[in-house]
A and B are shown apart, each in its own frame.
Chain A
């Protein structure tokens, strides 16, 4: 298998970056990553990415939280087993408050966990193929091509209005 070469192109706006992404789709080169200082809807549409699945983690967290909160309150009530303020030992209305707080807490844990798992954070290896200007004003596209075609890829990016360099 021929060795692959990596080319990083920087664009001053996301319109040009999105146009380059669309152009890459019909090319023999492979799009690896797109870096941007802000979440750009143009770039995400050009990439045709699916909706994030973070929500499933959040939902699962929320359900686990609600059940845990209610169960903890019920278990504590049964252990203590004393009627207070005339309320039954297992009093659902006050326990709903505990259930609600646990729902939010665990949903947030699920949200953070889902976010970290799906983005693979913390992860420091990708900093090696990253241009620091991408957290500032530039939109970066990292693409790979078979060895020998790197000049064509650089020329493609330059034609799209980007500043390209071989990594």
Chain B
């Protein structure tokens, strides 16, 4: 990072919190319309019934579950950047950590909505909670679906607390530069932080523990999500490689989403001096790594099907590549494993249009990966007479649109109301003698 002073860091970040332009509010309003469309369709589904979706027998898990896995995946890179890279002392993470953490919190919230949507009778969701009841019905804690409830709620709670605690010093900075009602609001949300040595002493320790706890958690969460499938006996799902395969895929998609968000953010807020090309280059290099793991996992699945001599597995994977959903399969392979290889070229890693385009393609590819796994598995299992096909209904597309709108809506609100870059960590980077999290 080029040498900046503390004052320049503050000025650059605080400038983003000034009152927004009309254009900003126009985009926010547009996204709000998207949310209303999604919410309206969900309300329609609640009124009419889950049958308004394209689900059928045998494909009872449709886009709602695809979206759930997709958004949980997106949520993973935030913790990778804020916790795992932090533990590895990768200093390049500092300028992007806050936005990535925020992305995590919003993505988990949206992911958490989809099991509710998928339930159909959403008012029955409390059945998942363990509480004494007259029917003596208790959740089965041996089921991966119940693991999911525990894991996702834990992840949401932990990532929100990590995000908020990490933001306290910056909220105090905003408070100290604000006036009037804004000052009062930031005073409350910063909890009266003054940067006292006692506060830093405990904060740095607590931050380290947060990172140390979030690291195994993030790996466990997507492993648990993968077991929703891998613990079933369906061909294409019942595989021991699912946990690492899902974790790598989650980080792959999350990093791509970080690029998708950072590139416009960097341009709109003039963050070029902070989110440098080197940082984007490092994200791209990490994407090569995760892309290679994902590509390897795709190949291993085929190898296992061939090596097992299990004709059902073999048919399932033959059909995946050449059957009804072959287009989705090849989109998945090309976008997730082939396109990221372009990042081997330095010129591509240093080109903003290339970075942005590839990040979008990976996002598309990762959505289709979940489509191929979830739909492909359920549609083509053991008995040919039970095979079927699925295509999402308009209601499902509208709810998908609503979820993307909600994500970008929340993110846009965040960047104009809270510091989107960690000023404290940037200052520490300049200072080099800081002890954040030691």
Using a CB–CB cutoff of 8 Å, the interface residues on chain A facing chain B are 14, 33-44, 47, 49, 51-52, 54-55, 58, 69, 72-73, 75-77, 79-80, 84-85, 87, 91, 94-95, 97-98, 100-102, 104-105, 107-108, 111-112, 114-115, 118-119, 121-127, 130, 132-137
> Which residues of B from 1 to 48 have beta carbons under 8 Å from A?
5-7, 10
Which of chain B's residues have a CB closer than 8 A to the CB of A130?
194
- Neighbouring A residues of B205 by C-beta, 8 Å: 51-52, 54-55
Q: B10, B142, B154, B157: which contacts A136 (Cβ < 8 A)?
A: B10
B112 to chain A, nearest CB (A): 15
- List chain A residues, Cβ under 8 A from B204: 39, 52
Contact of B209 among A34, A55, A101, A127 (CB under 8 A): A55
Over the window 117-154 of chain B, the binary record of Cβ atoms lying under 8 Å from chain A Cβ atoms (1 yes, 0 no) is 00000000000001000001111111100110011011
**What total of chain B residues lie within 8 Å of the partner, measured CB to CB?**
65
Q: Which B residues are in CB contact (< 8 Å) with A101? A: 147, 150-151, 154, 217, 220, 224
B193 touches A121 (CB 8 A): yes
Give B205's nearest chain A residue, CB to CB: A52
The answer to whether A39 touches B138, judged by C-beta atoms less than 8 angstroms apart, is no
Residues of A within 8 A of B172 (CB): 135
CB distance from B171 to the nearest CB of A (A): 10
A residues in contact with B436, CB < 8 Å: 38-39
Instruction: State which of A38, A75, A104 has its C-beta within 8 Å of the C-beta of B216.
Output: A104
Q: Which residues of B have CB within 8 Å of A35?
A: 194-197
Contacts A100-B220, A101-B220 known; A137 to B191 CB distance under 8 Å?
Answer: no
Residue B309 interfacial (CB < 8 Å)? no
Contacts of B428 in A (CB 8 A): 38-39
Inside 8 A of A87's CB, which chain B residues have their CB?
A: 142
B210 contacts the other chain (CB 8 A): yes
Interface residues in B136-184 (C-beta closer than 8 Å to A): 136-143, 146-147, 150-151, 153-154, 157-158, 161-162, 165, 168-169, 172-173, 175-177
Which residues on the A side are within 8 Å of B139 (C-beta)? 76
Give the residue of A51, A77, A85, A98 whose beta carbon is less than 8 angstroms from that of B150.
A98
Q: What are the residues of chain A within 8 A of B433 when measuring CB–CB? A: 14, 40-42
Structural contact, A108 and B224, CB atoms closer than 8 A: no
Given contacts A54-B205, A54-B209, A105-B158, contact A98 B141 (CB under 8 A): yes
Chain B CB within 10 Å, residue with most, of A80, A115, A124: A115
* Bound-complex Cα distance A135 to B151 (A): 37
- A136 pairs with B197, CB closer than 8 A: no
Set A58, A94, A105, A119: member contacting B203, Cβ < 8 A: A119
Shortest CB-to-CB span from A126 to chain B, Å, is 5
The answer to whether B151 touches A44 (Cβ under 8 A) is no
Top 9 A-B pairs, shortest CB-CB distance? A73-B141, A52-B205, A132-B176, A122-B191, A76-B138, A115-B206, A39-B200, A124-B192, A34-B197
Taking the closest CB of chain B, its distance from the CB of A36, in whole angstroms, is: 5
Partner of B154, one of A43, A104, A121, A122: A104
Residues of B within 8 A of A39 (CB): 200-201, 203-204, 428, 434-436, 438
Q: Are B173 and A80 in contact (CB under 8 A)?
A: no
Contact of A127 among B153, B173, B192, B427 (CB under 8 A): B192
Within the complex, the shortest CB–CB distance from B82 to chain A, in Å, comes to: 14
Residues of A within 8 A of B177 (CB): 132, 136
Q: Is B286 an interface residue (CB 8 A)?
A: no
CA A38 to CA B204, docked complex, whole Å: 10
Q: Do A95 and B141 have beta carbons less than 8 Å apart?
A: yes
Give B404-438 as 1s and 0s: 1 = Cβ < 8 Å from A's Cβ atoms: 00000000000000000000100110010111101
Contacts of A136 in B (CB 8 A): 6-7, 10, 173, 176-177
The distance in angstroms between the C-alpha atoms of A124 and B192, with both chains bound, is 5
Q: Which of B255-274 contact A (CB under 8 A)?
A: none
Q: Which residues of B contact A132 (CB under 8 A)?
A: 176-177
In the complex where A39-B435, A119-B202 touch, is A49 in contact with B216 (Cβ < 8 A)? no
Beyond A114-B206, A137-B5, whether A107 also contacts B199 by CB under 8 A is: no
CB contact between A108 and one of B147, B158, B176, B197 (< 8 Å): that residue = B158
Most chain B C-beta atoms within 10 Å of own C-beta, residue among A69, A102, A137: A137
Q: Residue on B with the closest CB to A72?
A: B130
Counting chain A CB atoms within 10 Å of each CB, the highest count among B136, B176, B220 belongs to B176
Residue among A51, A52, A72, A118 with max Cβ neighbours from chain B (10 Å): A52
- CA of A75 to CA of B216, assembled, Å: 26
B contact residues around A41 at 8 Å (CB): 433-435, 438
A-B contact pairs, 10 of them (CB 8 A): A35-B194, A36-B197, A38-B424, A39-B436, A77-B141, A97-B220, A97-B224, A98-B147, A111-B213, A112-B165
Contacting residues, chain A, for B143 (C-beta < 8 A): 84
The distance in angstroms between the C-alpha atoms of A112 and B146, with both chains bound, is 26
- 12 other A-B residue contacts (CB within 8 Å) besides A97-B147, A105-B153: A38-B427, A39-B203, A40-B200, A54-B205, A72-B130, A73-B141, A104-B216, A112-B206, A118-B198, A119-B199, A126-B194, A136-B173
User: Complex formed: what's the CA distance from A80 to B139 in Å?
Assistant: 8
When C-beta atoms are compared, the residue in chain B nearest to A47 turns out to be B197
Q: Which residues of A contact B176 (CB under 8 A)?
A: 132-133, 135-136
